[in-house]
Structure 1
């Protein structure tokens, strides 16, 4: 075989291997975390927050992201640089995005940087199943379906859980959501300006198709005090 042919064959093999690696990285995950963030806890920290240019978000959990994960606790990220975030793909979702997926980063902005980060780091790793439009729409629909604030305020337990600055046990928050929605969440806390532990983010698990909630296959080691604040916003 001539040297030119050998080189050509080698290049074809390398390109094929690269394509397979890119494809496998975008397909290979076990489930999603739907991560919902309480805005009052993001703002009640020493670093504070900034409202988006559309104004103060509504009194509700906002979406942080829909993150592909593996059952071993690790996750794929930045899977496909050839398919970057394109705002034109979600023009019809913009009003919903501003309402349900608001940014609280400073300085005040329109959210595009936040959404771009979420797609480029996480969403692109699911593109064999969900394209950009489907990825954001799926997260929006899942957030509406689970209605976390409604679960906490309206569940039929001994007491309701309201965002009024009161303290609640992590066990009661987790149990209330489980009772109301049927799935056990994982709770992440941060610290308020006085150093108190407070409810920050809630993780729920979704199957790898993005179509239904499931029990989480991985237990996250998120540090919270036994009793945590649920701050107002």
Structure 2
């Protein structure tokens, strides 16, 4: 049986629209914060923002929609571009809590634009552009990772700590089990790089992670100075 070209075209359009709809549906967010000391103490090095060296604190990397099977959507709406005017009232907070460390030195706009277009557009069914960035800032305020670790006598002092003690401290301080991502410095040391916390689809409440991020860490990892 032959299918007409117009029917095939309609079928392809329907398939495309169904994929677009599915891409806007997700199960939870990863709220990811990175330690600047580990980002900068690697072969790729780093560049401070144009506003100067960031505070020695965990900085936001992103708020990423994910599926319970471990996969994730990305770049869901190419027509929804980053609009700085949407977050004009948040800029000063974002410069402090969501700094870019990539090179060349920047004002953060390129970083935030990437995060919105790759990840934020997949959450538009729940959060508009301003709400998306605002949600991440509020989540950072809810869980002060650095203070939690310091309370457990885990300091950014170039010393090594067991990864279990780091996880336990964050679980004790926040009520939820984190995922830990490590990188390696130029000497090959495994370092505390990023902390993943899971958040419900409203972007407001922490939850236990349905699936943990994959990462290779040693049993003891370095918490580098910054």
CA contact (8 A) 2:34 2:58 kept: yes
The whole-number CA distance in structure 2 between the counterparts of 1:231 and 1:46 is 14
Corresponding position of 1:131: 128
Task: Give 5+ residue unaligned stretches, structure 1.
Answer: 1-5
Please list, as runs of the form range in 1=range in 2, the aligned pairs for 1:2-41 lying within 5 A after superposition: 18-26=16-24, 28-41=25-38
Moved segments of 4+, more than 6 Å: 9-14
Matches for 1:56-135 after TM superposition, within 5 Å: 56-135=53-132
Considering only CA atoms, is the larger Rg found in Structure 1 or Structure 2? 1
Could you tell me how far 1:52 is from its partner in structure 2?
Answer: 0.3
- The separation in 1 between residues aligned to 2:160 and 2:185, in whole angstroms, is 13
Cross-structure match for 1:195: 188
TM-score normalized by the length of structure 2: 0.93
Structure 2: unaligned runs, 5 residues or longer: none
Q: Which residue does 2:167 correspond to in 1?
A: 174
Residue among 38, 47, 50 paired with 1:50: 47
| Change over 3 Å in CA distance of 1:10–1:194 after alignment to 2 | closer
Query: Once the 2 structures are TM-superposed, how far is the Cα of residue 219 of structure 1 from its aligned partner?
Result: 2.3
How far is the alpha carbon of 1:150 from its aligned partner?
Answer: 1.0
Cα-Cα RMSD: 1.7
- Residue range with higher mean Cα deviation, 98-107 or 15-24: 15-24
Query: Which whole-Å CA distance do the structure 1 matches of 2:15 and 2:224 have between them?
Result: 51
Secondary structure class of the residue paired with 2:148: helix
In 2, Cα distance between equivalents of 1:131 and 1:204 = 21
Aligned residues of 2:196 and 2:213 also touching (Cα < 8 A): no
